Structure 1
Amino acid sequence: MGKFTFRLPDIGEGIAEAEIVAWHVKVGDMVEEDGRVADMMTDKATVEMESPVTGRIISVAGDVGDVVAIGSPLVVIETEGEGEAEQAAPAPAPKAEVVEERIEAETPAIAAEPAPVPAPAPVAVPAPAPAAKAAPAPVRTGGAKVLASPAVRQRAQDLGIDLSEVRPSEEGRIRHADLDQFLAYNASGGYRTAGAERGDETIKVIGLRRRIAENMAASKRNIPHFSYVEECDVTALEAMREQLNAGRGDKPRLTMLPLLIAAFCRLLPQFPMLNARYDDEAGVVTRFGAVHMGIAAQTPAGLMVPVIRNAQALNLWQLAREIGRLADAARNGTAKSEELSGSTLTVTSLGPLGGVATTPVINRPEVAIIGPNRIIERPMFVPDGMGGERIEKRKLMNISISCDHRVVDGWDAASFVQAVKKLIETPVLLLAD
């Protein structure tokens, strides 16, 4: 018998390492040539690794969540014949299925050059006879037809999740990200039937969720945040939006977001310190002329930030169309890597869930993030036109901004928000040249 060492091949785009997000084999399993071995997640996509040979798995590189460097052993396979063999280097890019596009990792890797993960010592596990191999327990599907890969079904089985209860992210096919989303909405971390006791479960943070955690931790650790919140009367802005929508024809429906982005873009030339990135290692601040507006979007896979390129050059209808297109692409996993990177300023809005005020975390290496909040109706004192005041029901919205205090002064942030307040409270100015 011989041994074949399958090393993690070059996935392309300058990727130096990849994270193990799922194993399709374990020590002792037989694998066919072109059979799936593991799912590896990079900064751009999840890639399926396929075995180049037929044989029995005698060692694997690590556990789910471990990071493997390009060129390091992924699995060692016992094959027919004598001697040891390895794939030719450099290996060609593997057959890959882009399962989900991911937000660009704006923070440096934890280790610039991670040491290769050593393969554990081979464990002699006799291959079981096919007749004696027990069939796995079926995954609950509630009688409905469910599309999912074997790895997803196995994970659902391990977690006790009924796949018919999981909402697929695209084309009716359930993926690992959909299971993650399902778990996030169940406090116990797994599926439970009505009346069952809630048990504790420890879930390893891997994949996109770990990348988000690393980015947010790096942002809070490295950036001295400060936040500023102002209340704005958007009654007139909402009335204008309704009028524009009433006569829009085949144009996309306007939400509040394109109106706000148009206001931000009009004012940013007066506040260039906000439309910037800070390279803290080089000690350099780059102020951008164009506004590449990031729009934080919640997807089944987690938070992503698609980017509207040159937002300052788009009119309201073009902004609305681009916001809809990018949000759909992020949710469906079809966004391109260049559409998920390069933002110079980010706006994050939870729409009706926006709350009274937010203190959003900056999307590093940007220096500011803006958070519109929920619109509420409240009585206010307004001028009555005769020198007095009257009480009137008005639509109010708070605008929050978080800034990097190393680059942006409190006066600048407050002045910008006050300018936004003045502009959106007199919305006709948005349509003026």
Structure 2
Amino acid sequence: MGQHVIKMPDIGEGIAQVELVEWYVKVGDTVTEDQVLADVMTDKATVEIPSPVSGQVVALGATPGQTMAVGSELIRLEVEGAGNLKLATATAPAAPQPAPAVSAPPQPRVTPEVVAKAPEPEVTTERPLASPAVRKRAWEAGIDLAAVKGSGPAGRIVHADLDAAQQPLGKGPVCAAEDQVQAVPVIGLRRKIAERMQEATRRAAHFSYVEEIDVTALEALRQQLNGKWGEVRGKLTLLPLLVRALVVALRDFPQLNARYNDEEQVVDRHSAVHVGIATQGDHGLLVPVLRDAQQRDLWGNANEITRIAAAARHGKAEREILSGSTITLTSLGALGGIVSTPVLNLPEVAIVGVNRMVERPMVVDGQIVIRKMMNLSSSFDHRVVDGMDAARFIQAVRQLLEQPATLFIE
């Protein structure tokens, strides 16, 4: 038997270090080749690290939340054969042979725990196996994972186990007998989100502008398009129509389709419209990028939005999908509320927030009629965007959405 050290691989893109998010194995576990050992976090993408060999886990190189350099020891396995670890005792010069009449004192056995660079903390070995999504759901539901029996591979807890663990409504106590505090580490994507939000609010001079829009005609057009071409081209949501409005409006407001490098004091205005689509994923908020939105029709953008949003939602988005946006569109869907104050996706200078669509009585030509209304709550970087320009831009978007035929006039 020998020991095999698996080092943190080079993920590419010039990444020098990553954050360890979660272990899927613990000391003593037997792993097989290609089995996923851990999740690590780069800038925004979560990457799975598989095992190149089979063996038994001897030591883990870090705990979740710690930063690891590329090339550092990730995990150590005991394997069949010699392994790839050369212990110091194996390469040291041979000691002189003792005299026959004198017995050599017994040498201490070099155990895996002694040579391990980062012994596994006790708490890690007892941590139940579960994905980040399962942990988040358990935390929100107040379920102690230590008390749940996992039915997945190697005893991993899956969503079905949480379903079985939850009590039917009305069966549990109204409130806990005493306060129970659960310490939830802010690691992985949640830490990256926290850092980016803090940096955005610290560096940019945010200001928001809210306008209500009558989307009755726009919604009628969407339903008409779906009725005629939905079965062939796919159903349209409001998002591709909103993207189209941004593309058209930005022709007259190039200063808002921009990225501000505040260190060099340069604003880069883009002719192509790369729309960030704020997406709530399994592990937190991500912003995949709809590239070159100006080059596609409604269905082309709709299909691309579906593709990149699904990749982000399930943690499969590559770095290219998560970078390079020039303006961001964010929406909470049915939970959109009346008004919101979205935080800029730096280094962009504008973000457009979509609120909930509601039917309200409105006065049109002196008559009270029911109209479908929706607010746009948008934020801008006041360091480089004047309030007048921001207001004129949103008014241009409003006019396009209220008269949807103008969306397609070149």
**Corresponding residue to 1:179 among 134, 140, 143:** 134
Distance 1:31-1:392 versus aligned 2 partners, 3 A rule? closer
Equivalence for 2:403: 426
> Which whole-Å CA distance do the structure 2 matches of 1:53 and 1:247 have between them?
55
**Corresponding residue to 2:294 among 296, 312, 322:** 312
Equivalence for 2:217: 236
Alignment check: 8 A CA contact 2:261 2:347 kept: yes
> Which whole-Å CA distance do the structure 2 matches of 1:432 and 1:416 have between them?
18
> Which whole-Å CA distance do the structure 2 matches of 1:238 and 1:121 have between them?
59
Equivalence for 1:90: none
Query: Once the 2 structures are TM-superposed, how far is the Cα of residue 340 of structure 1 from its aligned partner?
Result: 2.2
- 2:227 is aligned with what amino acid? A
> Which whole-Å CA distance do the structure 2 matches of 1:350 and 1:298 have between them?
9
Equivalence for 1:110: none
Distance 1:393-1:17 versus aligned 2 partners, 3 A rule? same
| Aligned 1:3-402 pairs, distance under 5 A | 7-23=7-23, 29=28, 38-43=38-43, 44-48=45-49, 50=51, 57=58, 60-75=60-75, 83-84=87-88, 155-156=127-128, 176-183=131-138, 185-186=140-141, 193=167, 195=172, 197=176, 199-248=180-229, 249-383=231-365, 389-402=366-379
Alignment check: 8 A CA contact 2:46 2:316 kept: no
Alignment check: 8 A CA contact 2:363 2:369 kept: yes
> Which whole-Å CA distance do the structure 1 matches of 2:379 and 2:248 have between them?
19
Query: Once the 2 structures are TM-superposed, how far is the Cα of residue 330 of structure 1 from its aligned partner?
Result: 2.6
- 1:179 is aligned with what amino acid? V
- 2:87 is aligned with what amino acid? G
Distance 1:36-1:396 versus aligned 2 partners, 3 A rule? closer
Alignment check: 8 A CA contact 1:3 1:83 kept: no
Query: Once the 2 structures are TM-superposed, how far is the Cα of residue 48 of structure 1 from its aligned partner?
Result: 2.2
SS in 1 for 2:357: strand
Alignment check: 8 A CA contact 1:258 1:319 kept: yes
Query: Once the 2 structures are TM-superposed, how far is the Cα of residue 309 of structure 1 from its aligned partner?
Result: 1.3
**Contiguous gaps of at least 5 residues in structure 2:** 91-115, 146-161
**Contiguous gaps of at least 5 residues in structure 1:** 87-118, 126-150, 158-174, 384-388
SS in 2 for 1:22: strand
> Which whole-Å CA distance do the structure 1 matches of 2:234 and 2:29 have between them?
54
Greater Rg over alpha carbons, structure: 2
Return the TM-score normalized by structure 2: 0.75
> Which whole-Å CA distance do the structure 1 matches of 2:265 and 2:222 have between them?
43
Distance 1:32-1:215 versus aligned 2 partners, 3 A rule? same
Query: Once the 2 structures are TM-superposed, how far is the Cα of residue 6 of structure 1 from its aligned partner?
Result: 5.1
RMSD over aligned CA atoms reads 3.4
Alignment check: 8 A CA contact 2:57 2:75 kept: no
Query: Once the 2 structures are TM-superposed, how far is the Cα of residue 26 of structure 1 from its aligned partner?
Result: 5.5
> Which whole-Å CA distance do the structure 2 matches of 1:61 and 1:327 have between them?
33
> Which whole-Å CA distance do the structure 1 matches of 2:312 and 2:363 have between them?
43
SS in 1 for 2:340: coil
> Which whole-Å CA distance do the structure 1 matches of 2:139 and 2:380 have between them?
29
> Which whole-Å CA distance do the structure 2 matches of 1:32 and 1:235 have between them?
58
State the aligned residue count: 351
Query: Once the 2 structures are TM-superposed, how far is the Cα of residue 219 of structure 1 from its aligned partner?
Result: 1.2
SS in 1 for 2:276: strand
Deviations, residues 304-340 of structure 1 (Å, cap 9, x unaligned) = 2221111112222222222223223333444333222
- 1:351 is aligned with what amino acid? G
Deviations, residues 201-231 of structure 1 (Å, cap 9, x unaligned) = 1111121222222211211121111100011
Identity %: 47
Equivalence for 1:113: none
SS in 2 for 1:355: coil
